[in-house]
């Protein structure tokens, strides 16, 4: 599983050529989690061999779930980012939503549907993930910029 984690991370980074630092960080964190699982499994096999049956069954379920999510070609039930869109509309100011957050979601959805139309399910999944990272990145940056503006105004009197 650890080796798979490394291969997956390297492939994702080089295949897409992404420059999104948050996306890279999350992929590296996922790789670390996979390594932790591998070490945990090795530890269990060494010291708790009688409990390994349950761990293996759980792993099989996890793999089956991932396979179904990644490779199934079920029809799309709704556009990705619909939840984020609702959240941004509800929590963000109307200007932030209109100028920063809504365009980020719209572009991600368009890119996602293009990948799906080309039959690239894995790429569509990656676009969705990267789009979510870009969305949170944009929102975070907006909060920082707006806070800075408020502080500057306050300091200027």
Nearer to another protein, 27 or 133 (CB): 133
Binding test (CB under 8 A) with another protein, winner from 102, 123, 125, 129: 102
Which residues, numbered 15-74, are part of the site for another protein (CB under 8 A)? Answer: 19-22
Using the rule CB under 8 A, give the single segment among 8-16, 28-36, 47-55, 76-84 that binds another protein. Answer: 76-84
Other beta carbons within 10 Å of 115: 18
Assess 107 for contact with another protein (CB under 8 A).
Answer: yes
**What is the CB-side half-sphere exposure of residue 143 using CA atoms within 13 A?**
9
Asked whether 124 and 69 are in contact (CB, 8 A), the reply is no
Q: Rounded to an integer, what distance in angstroms lies between the CA atom of residue 46 and that of residue 152?
A: 60
Q: Rounded to an integer, what distance in angstroms lies between the CA atom of residue 155 and that of residue 132?
A: 35
Contacts of 61 (CB under 8 A, 6+ apart): none
Binding test (CB under 8 A) with another protein, winner from 85, 115, 124, 126: 85
Q: Rounded to an integer, what distance in angstroms lies between the CA atom of residue 23 and that of residue 13?
A: 9
Size of interface with another protein, in residues (CB under 8 A): 31
Min dist. Cβ of residue 73 to another protein (A): 17
Binding site for another protein (CB under 8 A): 19-22, 76, 79, 81, 85, 95-96, 99-107, 109-111, 113, 130, 133-134, 137-138, 141-142, 145
């Amino acid at each position: 599983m650890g080796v798979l984690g490394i291969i997956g991370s390297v492939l994702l980074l080089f295949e897409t050529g992404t420059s999104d630092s948050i996306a890279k960080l999350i992929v590296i964190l996922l790789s670390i989690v996979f390594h932790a699982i591998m070490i945990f499994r090795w530890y269990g096999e060494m010291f708790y061999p009688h409990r390994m049956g349950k761990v293996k069954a759980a792993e099989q379920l996890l793999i089956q779930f991932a396979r179904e999510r990644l490779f199934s070609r079920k029809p799309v039930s709704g556009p990705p980012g619909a939840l984020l869109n609702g959240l941004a509309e509800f929590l963000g100011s109307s200007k932030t939503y209109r100028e920063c957050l809504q365009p980020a979601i719209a572009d991600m959805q368009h890119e996602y549907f293009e990948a799906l139309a080309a039959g690239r399910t894995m790429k569509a999944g990656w676009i969705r993930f990267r789009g979510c990272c870009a969305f949170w990145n944009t929102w975070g940056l907006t909060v920082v910029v707006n806070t800075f503006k408020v502080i500057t105004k306050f300091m200027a009197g």
